[in-house]
Structure 1
């Protein structure tokens, strides 16, 4: 919609003409409002100056359209407006802040225009008509320009994220793969993550599920975990591939509980122990990777986060690097007790808990929620199934039971 060059249009042209003559003042007033109302627009001097150029360019463009009766569809988006959108995308300022800036800026400029209309010598009806015409054009312009800048913002955001993710992934791999000292402060600045903190390394992966955005789901979960454990600063997240991601949480305590995995999710999560500094950053990640190998080898990653701190998991991971040899060893140690039948599984689990409880029937009964005599019977039955007492090679039996617990059918005989 454009303003005709006569009638109300001439009056509107006179009104906006006076504002064009005072563009610097109009720009300054509008920018002050934006800085007060949209906190995300604050930043360094360069970004603030670009905001000013953006405001001035948009005001000049829309006022020129009103003065000269130019259809909004024939207007070209100001270069400063497009560049400002790109810069916000690069700074991780949300698209919502960009849209709010245009809406609030529109309101601020309309208020200034209304002051000029009231100060004119037009009769009341003409003032209403002029304001109505100006309102229509400015709304049309705001609708059009926000579409333009949002398109530019999204393209730049996608490009920038891909580029930054590649650089971030390379930096992270450099830290993980090097045994040398790193410039902790410089790398922390690059990654925007505190390497001096205590870290919990996570490895996350999803089952392929069609068109779903698995990486976004994993990143949301990581941020939920960071909030739930009271992370000191922002978590670090990087994609390893389309279905796998690595993350680190900067935690305040070694004793944390990860957020539950959402129901109906294909997400799987393993975590290393909470460990300090660059060495902890590396080691916690290696522990999570080792735990993941156990989960994948077992064929049942489960629907809960699994931690390297869980008893026996790291030992199972180390002992299970050669699964065929481990399977043969388990069969030799446990004998017939190493079969995959449900009955033998119950006997093995009872014996494992009994041995871990210091051979206490009472403690094992409490942990398993069984009667004392039931535990005693199962332990005796497990020894009978094995075919020999457990006292002579108790350590071997405990390790074999741990491997059975974590690897399940993958390490058992038929």
Structure 2
């Protein structure tokens, strides 16, 4: 009985015929190694051509991959059973060098494409020399491509996993070190950082600084706010430091831009208003002393904000409450001053609170009409309230005007028991 070609057993699709295995097994690997290394460097790592550690690691990785892949194509080993050493080591180095993962992925795509070209050319040449039928040659090329892509997937998966784990561990370690460096800088008696520490900090300590405390934003959620603030202030340099598990301070820095100091705080407050986030904003300040001063300012502002009655403002800048910060350095004397200046006008009840609000607005706007519009009241109501406030005060509102204004501001932050 004659067996037709259709009835003959065929090799499994994952195994090359003998002639193809011999062809792929005989490829010049040193020459291909150099082609792959050049393709990788040109596509993704051109600036690392002279790197003392990277290039040898890349060469070792390419050599190991080529030998493993030759064994896979020759049928000596399955791709999934290959154990990788040098490619994994290269991935760890790439993570330590802070190379973008996109560059790592691009290099593998380009490298394996170069390998495929070399082996496919070798296979086609062997098929033509041996007189292999066109269909059989195409089937072998397809099988070789499947084997190569399977090996590529095996390598890429292990490399990506190693890179991700190494990058995550390094990031955590780096952020911990940076947090320690920031804590060091904030100490008044701290010695200067070394050049290596300053490089790791990656923030210009000698620049102009503006601090922003986000009391309800943990460090892990601060990035969208930071991105928006950098865009709003046209600032490149920034530093993030956790205060605790639920709040974060970030600094924006600018060098050589005199106008930035005058408008930065206003731009920050406007940006935070759009984001609808609670915040305390410092004044701009320069140098290491300025960094420490802005840190102290945002915490001072937060203490004032936390004590604010009846409802604290969502965003508060140091320029708005610098007087309160200074006077509340001694809360006992501040309270005594308020009691002496306001008398019955300073008592904690809703009527006195409305009267104080009206007096403060009247001082600010200087007009009964504007005050009434601001408070959404009738002008006669404003006049009546001001008259009643003067009666409780025991003197005209025009007397000791400065002391009255200061007492009204302090009363606002003493209503909850002081700060």
TM-score normalized with structure 1 length: 0.79
Is 2:359 aligned against 1:351? Answer: yes
Contact 2:345/2:389 (CA < 8 Å) preserved in 1? yes
| Counterpart for residue 23 of structure 2 | 14
Aligned match for 1:229, one of 233, 247, 253: 233
Deviation, structure 1 residue 90 = 2.6
Is 2:166 aligned against 1:156? Answer: yes
Structure 1 pair 382–24 and aligned structure 2 pair: CA distance change class (3 A): same
Give the gaps of 5 or more residues in structure 1: 208-213
Aligned match for 1:244, one of 242, 247, 259: 247
- Report how many residues are paired: 395
Structure 1 pair 333–136 and aligned structure 2 pair: CA distance change class (3 A): farther
CA distance in 2, matches of 1:334, 1:344: 10
Is 2:182 aligned against 1:178? Answer: no
CA distance in 2, matches of 1:220, 1:300: 30
The DSSP-based 3-state class of the residue aligned with 2:397 is coil
Deviation, structure 1 residue 284 = 1.3
Aligned match for 2:316, one of 306, 312, 324: 306
Q: CA RMSD in A?
A: 3.7
| Bigger-Rg structure (1/2) | 2
Greater displacement, 93-102 / 359-368: 359-368
Mapping of residues 245-264 of structure 1, within 5 Å: 245-251=248-254, 252=257, 253-254=260-261, 255-256=263-264, 257-258=267-268, 259-260=271-272
CA distance in 1, matches of 2:290, 2:31: 60
Structure 1 pair 348–68 and aligned structure 2 pair: CA distance change class (3 A): same
CA distance in 1, matches of 2:208, 2:176: 25
Deviation, structure 1 residue 217 = 0.9
Aligned match for 1:142, one of 148, 152, 159: 152
Structure 1 pair 389–47 and aligned structure 2 pair: CA distance change class (3 A): farther
| Counterpart for residue 109 of structure 2 | 103
Deviation, structure 1 residue 229 = 1.0
Structure 1 pair 325–221 and aligned structure 2 pair: CA distance change class (3 A): same
The DSSP-based 3-state class of the residue aligned with 1:246 is strand
Greater displacement, 219-228 / 299-308: 299-308
Structure 1 pair 179–353 and aligned structure 2 pair: CA distance change class (3 A): farther
Deviation, structure 1 residue 191 = 1.0
Greater displacement, 100-109 / 273-282: 100-109
Deviation, structure 1 residue 31 = 1.6
CA distance in 2, matches of 1:300, 1:108: 70
| Counterpart for residue 8 of structure 2 | none
Aligned match for 1:205, one of 183, 206, 215: 215
| Counterpart for residue 43 of structure 2 | 34
Structure 1 pair 89–116 and aligned structure 2 pair: CA distance change class (3 A): same
The DSSP-based 3-state class of the residue aligned with 1:236 is strand
Deviation, structure 1 residue 247 = 1.9
Structure 1 pair 392–7 and aligned structure 2 pair: CA distance change class (3 A): closer
Aligned match for 1:279, one of 278, 286, 289: 289
1:213-243 superposed Cα distances (whole Å, 9 cap, x missing partner): x322113322331222111x33111223322
| Counterpart for residue 116 of structure 1 | 122
Deviation, structure 1 residue 66 = 2.0
